[in-house]
Amino acid sequence: MIEELYVHKIGGIRSAALSFKGDFIVITGESGAGKSSLVRAFEFVSGRRAQTAAIHAGFDEASVEAVWNEERDGERLITKRSISRQGKGGCLIHGEPATVAQLSSESLRLIEIQSQFAQLNLLDSSRQMQLVDSCGGKELLETKGRLAEIFPGMLAAEKEIIDVKKQMRLLESELERAPEAVSAIKALSLYPGCEAEWNAELASAEKQLEEAGRYDEILERMTGGENGDGFADQMSALLRDLYGIAPDESRARWTELGELALSSLQELFSAARSELGMMPKDELEARLDRIEAKVGSLRKVKRETGLRSDDELMAYTDGVGRKMKWLAESRTGLERTQARVAEMRSEAGALARKLRALRERAASEFEARVNVHLADLAMEGSRFSAEIIHHDRVRASGAEGVVFTLSQNGLPPSPVSKVASGGELSRILIAIQASMDTTDGGSPDGPPGALVFDEVEAGLGGRTALLAGEKLKELSRKRRVILITHEAAIAAMASQHFVVKRAGDETEVFEISQEKRAREIARMLSGTESEEAMEHARALLRLDGPQDRG
């Protein structure tokens, strides 16, 4: 619970130091004195939204510091928050820098602030369920915590299954014809640079076949082919005619030279065939067919796959292999994930059923407690209910909701917000806070150790205001209650009393007791310090008679 509060430059308060010693503490003051500045200070140091408009006029910065009865490192826990007009601010938790979210989270278990509009919490379904759960004990909290713990993992695993199945479907569609393409690619026995090599071989084979054709054409012209009437035969006939006119002494030499010419011509054609690397034409055609078939298969595979090179084809084959491996591994992994999700679903279902039973029992206990407190608050004719609503779908918070209803004078129950007046809502809120007090304030599983009420009794008067005060005092036996109030009868019940006063543009906050307190109670009763009002105030405070008027 909170022990000390130091306020600097918040609202109309330039500086204030409050040391809380009592269990039931009241803060009073005339309207406009600046009590709302204290509410802002409590909210500010608890991590609620801050506005630069809350900074005291004439100053650029404001801060609030709180000391708690919780020990940390052998010292009292201290939280502090500051803000500047430039919007910059800072938070400290026990001297260490922290975010506003961290400060808010830390404060949730330390203090709860209820303004006169806190009845709106009764309309929030999640808040209503928290209130019911507060009466469920350790078993409910552990069950609720376990469900909240496994549920995100279950959702993540289910999403993983959906994502993996989607990827598998896309990949299976993509790879639908991949096995044929891979088979065709593998049949080509590709290797780096093979496409350029095969194209070069094809060009070479085509050139060789072309040269062979031309050679055969020249040879046929030379020999005359099957007709035997080629250039060689004509040359032989010409030589014979030449020999016939040769002088006797020259015929032998001319004949020798002619035969040498014919021999040289034959040797030329033989050398040409050899130096051209000439194979038989049928062999060249067979070789060209083989190369054309291989290159044609390569081009066909490229066209069918939309790939542009042998490198891309080889990479495609490797990629398909990896994807096929991923598919196989994913099917196995998917089965494991599905089995794990089935286990988590089973556990979540069991936890949800258990949580529902515990909540129904807690709701019954909760509404019974609230009704007891409402009877103490002069609402005997009203019946409060916490109705558990079943949902078909399990969520992290369970498979049910809750609705707070009120039945008055035997009429059918209706939602609290629709049938309760402002004063009734205030009393219901007090009854609920009293009903939540099932563990020591400030424990991890219990409500905060300090409660701040801002005029929660607004709308009450006479006997109901007195009963509300008694109930708040009763609540203060287990949790420190700080009440900002205009009700003199309630203020007189407090064990500690602070007053807020306006002096010019400044708001002062100080503790009062004895006769000073009687004067404040008298002011609250009648607006004056008349003798009659003072006597009434002393009676409320159980003071024997006039005290030192300080």
- SS3 labels along 310-363: HHHHHHHHHHHHHHHHHHHHHHHHHHHHHHHHHHHHHHHHHHHHHHHHHHHHHH
- Separation between Cα atoms, residue 30 and residue 502, nearest integer Å: 8
Q: Which of 511, 480, 450, 515 is nearest to 27 (CA)?
A: 511
Q: Which amino acid is at 355?
A: L
pLDDT at 237: 86
CA 386 to chain centre: 32
- With a cut of 50, say whether residue 12 has pLDDT above it: yes
8 Å CB contact between 385 and 405: yes
**H-helix or E-strand spanning residue 427:** helix 422-436
Name the β-bridge partners of 452: 113, 482
What number is the average pLDDT over the span 210-215? 84
pLDDT at 356: 96
DSSP-H helix ranges across 437-513 = 462-475, 488-491
Q: What is the pLDDT of residues 286-304, one digit of tens each?
A: 989 999 999 999 999 999 8
- Separation between Cα atoms, residue 100 and residue 48, nearest integer Å: 8
Sheet with 414-415: list strands edge to edge.
382-395, 398-408, 414-415
Q: Which residues contact 316 (CB under 8 A, 6 or more apart)?
A: 181, 182, 185, 305, 307
pLDDT at 439: 53
Name the β-bridge partners of 61: 84
- Separation between Cα atoms, residue 157 and residue 333, nearest integer Å: 11
CATH of 1-110+448-512, one of 3.40.50.300, 3.40.50.150, 3.90.550.10, 3.30.9.10: 3.40.50.300
pLDDT at 468: 85
Q: What is the pLDDT of residues 87-111, one digit of tens each?
A: 888 999 999 999 999 999 899 889 9
Tokens of 507: 């708001």
What number is the average pLDDT over the span 203-210? 88
- With a cut of 60, say whether residue 121 has pLDDT above it: no
8 Å CB contact between 416 and 405: yes
Q: Which of 50, 63, 44, 18 is nearest to 107 (CA)?
A: 44
Q: What is the pLDDT of residues 34-57, one digit of tens each?
A: 888 999 999 999 988 888 888 998
Q: Could you give the C-alpha distances from 443 to 66, 70, 205, 358, 436, in angstroms and in order?
A: 18, 10, 92, 21, 13
280, with CB counted inside 10 A (0-12, 13-18, 19+), is: exposed
Query: Of 89-98, 187-196, 212-221, 385-394, which gets the smallest average pLDDT?
Result: 212-221
- Separation between Cα atoms, residue 73 and residue 84, nearest integer Å: 30
- With a cut of 80, say whether residue 446 has pLDDT above it: no
Percent of the chain as helix, strand, coil, to the nearest 5:
55, 20, 25
Tokens of 546: 């006039």
- Local confidence band at 443 (pLDDT 50, 70, 90 cut-offs): very low
- Separation between Cα atoms, residue 62 and residue 7, nearest integer Å: 8
Length of the chain: 550
Q: Which amino acid is at 494?
A: A
- Local confidence band at 542 (pLDDT 50, 70, 90 cut-offs): confident
Name the β-bridge partners of 152: none
- Separation between Cα atoms, residue 195 and residue 296, nearest integer Å: 11
- Local confidence band at 26 (pLDDT 50, 70, 90 cut-offs): very high
Q: Which of 111, 231, 162, 131 is nearest to 431 (CA)?
A: 131
Q: Which of 311, 310, 277, 314 is nearest to 295 (CA)?
A: 310
pLDDT at 276: 73
pLDDT at 145: 94
Secondary structure letter of residue 179 according to DSSP: H
Q: What is the pLDDT of residues 278-290, one digit of tens each?
A: 777 888 889 899 9
- Across the chain, what does the average pLDDT equal? 87
Structure pTM?
0.66
Q: What angle do CA 377, 379, 384 make, to 5 degrees?
A: 110
- Local confidence band at 503 (pLDDT 50, 70, 90 cut-offs): confident
Cα-flanking dihedrals φ and ψ of residue 4, to 5°?
Answer: -140, 150
Cα-flanking dihedrals φ and ψ of residue 502, to 5°?
Answer: -105, 125
- Separation between Cα atoms, residue 477 and residue 489, nearest integer Å: 19
Q: What angle do CA 138, 139, 142 make, to 5 degrees?
A: 85
- With a cut of 50, say whether residue 441 has pLDDT above it: no
- Separation between Cα atoms, residue 440 and residue 479, nearest integer Å: 8
Domain(s) labelled CATH 3.40.50.300 in the chain stretch across 1-110+448-512
- Local confidence band at 118 (pLDDT 50, 70, 90 cut-offs): low
Q: What is the pLDDT of residues 385-439, one digit of tens each?
A: 999 999 999 999 999 999 999 998 888 998 887 887 777 888 888 888 888 754 5
Cα-flanking dihedrals φ and ψ of residue 72, to 5°?
Answer: -145, 125
Q: What angle do CA 370, 373, 378 make, to 5 degrees?
A: 120
